[in-house]
Amino acid sequence: MNYWQGILLGLVQGLTEFLPVSSDGHLAVVEAVTGVHTPGVFLEVALHVATLGSVLVVYGRRFAELTVGTLRGRPDDRRYAWLLILATIPGVVIGVAAHDLVGRAFDSLLVAGVGFLFTGTLLWSSRRRGGDVVAPRPGGAVAIGLAQALAILPGVSRSGSTVSVGLWLGLSPVRAAEFSFLMAIPIIAGAALFESRHGLEGLAAVGVGPLAVSFAVAFVSGIFAIRLLLLLLRRGRFYAFAPYCWAIGTATILYALWRE
């Protein structure tokens, strides 16, 4: 991977990780078009770590308050932490069990195209949803967790899936986003730890310099994307990304069929 490819992939990851348009799907498309090929999902995980840093910049204070409150035994914080743990379990179980399948899915543009179409439909269904609920019930947390687990497939947006389900459950838009981003922290950290066993092999294929540049670009653009998403959520425009997902999904499927 060269430097301009690193910048492009970092920008794509940073912007699309938090905007509800699927970062993994975009990376699969960009990699196919630019000819970037990496072993397994090393590059995707590395860039996810960069965007984890973006989450900690925006939600770090809330995460720290929640952690301290849980350790000190504050009931509200302990309940919220338990809900986050509950929501994380489906993603961990499915991610480990389907690891090889997911790796193969990243090589299929058809899968990414269908995932984009699914994401667009999911976003459109969230119109006029949401309420004033602060946190989901346990069953709702599991439902959000299942949505996050489904988003391990390229083209299916993690933020789009989890925030949409949160809105269906009556969470306020900002609270739905907060729960979505906070629950991403252990999932991304766990995926990075799991994939670190292939770190040297992946680093050799990608290159230290291009990876560092890509990492930095993903980190900065990720912060911008989170703040933009929160602005759109407050304005009730979350579903506005649906037409884009349908368009890129259709284009991806047509491109995949044309390549065959």
Amino acid at 202: G
CA 183 to chain CA mean position, Å: 11
**How far is Cα 112 from Cα 154, in angstroms, rounded to an integer?**
5
64-68, 79-83, 104-108: which has the minimum mean pLDDT?
104-108
The answer, yes or no, to whether residue 197 has pLDDT greater than 70, is no
pTM of structure:
0.85
Number of domains in the chain: 1
C-alpha–C-alpha distance, residues 223 and 250, integer Å: 29
Q: What mean pLDDT comes out for the span 59-68?
A: 91
Q: How confident is the model at residue 205 (pLDDT cuts 50, 70, 90)?
A: low
pLDDT digits (tens, 9 = 90+) for 108-165: 788 899 999 999 999 999 988 888 888 999 999 999 999 988 888 889 998 999 999 9
Tell me which amino acid residue 1 is.
M
Residues 42, 34: Cα–Cα separation, whole Å: 17
Scanning 38-172, the segments in alpha helix (DSSP H) are 42-71, 75-97, 99-105, 109-125, 138-150, 158-168
**pLDDT at site 28:** 80
Q: Indicate whether 103 pLDDT > 90.
A: no
The pLDDT of residue 143: 95
Give the single-character DSSP code of 39. S
- What is the average per-residue pLDDT within 213-235? 91
Q: Residue 100 belongs to what domain range? A: 3-259
Query: Per-residue pLDDT for 247 more than 90?
Result: yes
Tally Cβ neighbours within 10 Å of residue 9: 30
Q: Which residue has the higher pLDDT, 27 or 233?
A: 233
Q: Specify whether the backbone of 155 is left (phi greater than 0), alpha (psi in -120 to 50) or beta.
A: left
What would the mean pLDDT of 89-114 be, rounded to a whole number? 74
The rounded mean pLDDT for the chain is 85
CA distance 196 to 208: 15
Tokens (6 digits) for 211: 């990876």
Q: What confidence score (pLDDT) does residue 115 get?
A: 94
pLDDT in tens, 3-54: 887 788 888 888 888 899 988 788 788 877 777 655 446 676 778 788 889 9
Predicted confidence (pLDDT) at residue 201 exceeds the cutoff of 60? no
What is d(CA 162, CA 78) in angstroms, rounded to the nearest whole number? 21
Other Cβ atoms closer than 10 A to 90:
19
Phi, psi (deg, nearest 5) at residue 133: -70, 135
What is Dmax (Cα atoms) for the chain? 59
